[in-house]
Chain A
Amino acid sequence: MELRNPVMTASGTFGYGTEFQDVVELGRIGGIIMKGTTYEPRQGNDYPRMAETTGGMLNCVGLQNKGVRYFAEHIYPLIRKIDSRMIVNVSGSSPQDYARCAAVVDTLEDIPAIELNISCPNVHDGGMAFGVTTDGAASVVKAVRQAYHKTLIVKLSPNVTDIVSIAKAVEAEGADSVSLINTLMGTVIDIEKRKRTLSIGTGGLSGPCVKPIALRMVYQVAHAVDIPVIGLGGICNATDAIEFIMAGASAIEIGTANFLDPAVSMKVVDGINEWLDAHNVASVRDIIGVAE
């Protein structure tokens, strides 16, 4: 899969793209990774699902969505002609559950890729459970690879001891690309209520506070696998994006920053081009992984 430019929007932070169309020219973004989709509809977790922290936020949404068949029937017709790469983020509760969701997306002509979410920290059945062991990650990718024939991106969890071994395991099962990082599991306590703030106690931390960790992991993984790496985690501007590219990412995703500035993705596209021009660099390809 080729992208117009290396800037994508991260799943769960940009809806289906249409929510942002009043303030963003969607055709200027390299790719839009739509919200997490499962085979069966899911109601998600109870409110409160969000807490703020210095330099970031935590969420425990829990994959609320109406299911992949609803997506195919009601949302796909609305988004298929958006002039960007429209990618479905697929989640599930078992390898077979992931595979049957991916199989439905496989039939949708204008969806060139899926991002497999084996790293959601906010659901008990599946999600991150698969992403924290090499065997679990491999089992999901193996099942999905048989059901899905287009570009398969696997989104990795940072909540592991050795992310490189997970990346290698999914590469060995036929993943075309890995994206990292998903959110870091954390918590927040309301000291007046003497209680953890989020409805399920914990949530996924995102925002600029996670960037150095994400960047380190992207660097490690990019130096260990042969497939393209997509970097994300706290990217707020073009400088952040170029750091990830120099760490080895072929493309990047912007997530939580969309909440602060819904138009940030276009600014990052422009900012990368300005940097390339100012440094007489012909293409983003020329700076991928150049950081020593």
Chain B
Amino acid sequence: MLPRKSIVDLTVRSNQSLGERFVLLKCTDTSAHLPLMLPGQFAQLRVDNSKTTFLRRPISINYVDIDKNEVWFLIQKVGAGSQALASLQSGDILNALMPLGNGFAMPTNTTDRYLLTGGGVGTAPLLYMGRCIRDMGGRSTFLLGARTASMLLELDMFRVLGDVYVTTEDGSMGESGFVTQHSILREQRFDMISVCGPSPMMKAVARYARKTNTPCQVSLENMMACGLGACLCCVEKTVRGNVCVCTEGPVFDINELNW
């Protein structure tokens, strides 16, 4: 049973730049408790003050701080829509439809070894997932990749929640190369791999998972309009035919996909 969806006028508490391309928005609901959200779910954020864009933007739930009644969104400045979101300042209103989608499968035992791996802004949902695994008494292994050290986001937060391994394409931090080239994948085995990142990276991890017979779930980010399973724009080809990423996903078992 997924949490009930709602339309919420969030208030931005802070806007923190993480390097040139990323912004972390911490938001709260000043009038009510935030809805229950699952790791891997997302919000459809309304983009105000953007003349050339039209639709909401689907953004992962990066973190939920229940004590502070805060939800965090990590925004990568790509086009006009994300630029407008990234320009929101403390006190601004951010209208969110949330939580949406299915979320990642979670461990059933605290001893389950979960590898949470992502690239770039795709690491966003893994932080909240790691937090939920820790709350269950488990500990995650994070394998985080980026082009260069300055694009590795929220490392301090990840380190609190689990063991962190890093790759950068230019070798400026951690091992050099892509996440799939990290030595930990040769040295350790996992009960589940949860992936969010660029499509080529997720496909490479999926190949590794198949080779090592490890269950693997990936989070897709197809372009979408409604976020509710109504417009049928965000479909992915699966073994069940075309299905909506917004409601049947964004998280899919790799065996469901035609990868």
Contacts and interface: CB of A to CB of B under 8 A. Distances in A.
Interface stretch (A44-52, A86-94, A225-233): A44-52
Nearest to B243: A64
Interface string B38-57: 00000000100001111110
B93 to A, nearest CB: 14
Interface stretch (A17-25, A172-180, A271-279): A17-25
A15 interface: yes
Interface residues of A, number: 32
A54 B225 CA distance: 14
Nearest to A16: B230
B228 A56 contact: no
Contacts, number: 88
A222 interface: no
A44 B56 contact: no
Give the dominant DSSP class at B's interface: loop
Contacts of B234: 47, 50
B225 A57 contact: yes
A258 B54 CA distance: 12
A259 B226 contact: yes
A4 B235 CA distance: 34
Contact of A259 (B6, B225, B235): B225
Contacts of B225: 50, 57, 59, 259
Contacts of A54: 51-52, 54
A47 B51 contact: no
Interface string B185-202: 000000000000000000
Contacts of A258: 226, 230
Interface in B206-259: 222-226, 228-237, 241-242, 247
Interface of B: 4-7, 46, 51-56, 97, 222-226, 228-237, 241-242, 247
24 contacts: A12-B230, A12-B231, A13-B230, A15-B229, A19-B228, A20-B230, A23-B5, A46-B237, A47-B222, A47-B235, A47-B242, A49-B233, A49-B235, A50-B225, A50-B231, A54-B51, A55-B54, A57-B55, A61-B233, A64-B242, A259-B56, A260-B55, A261-B7, A262-B228
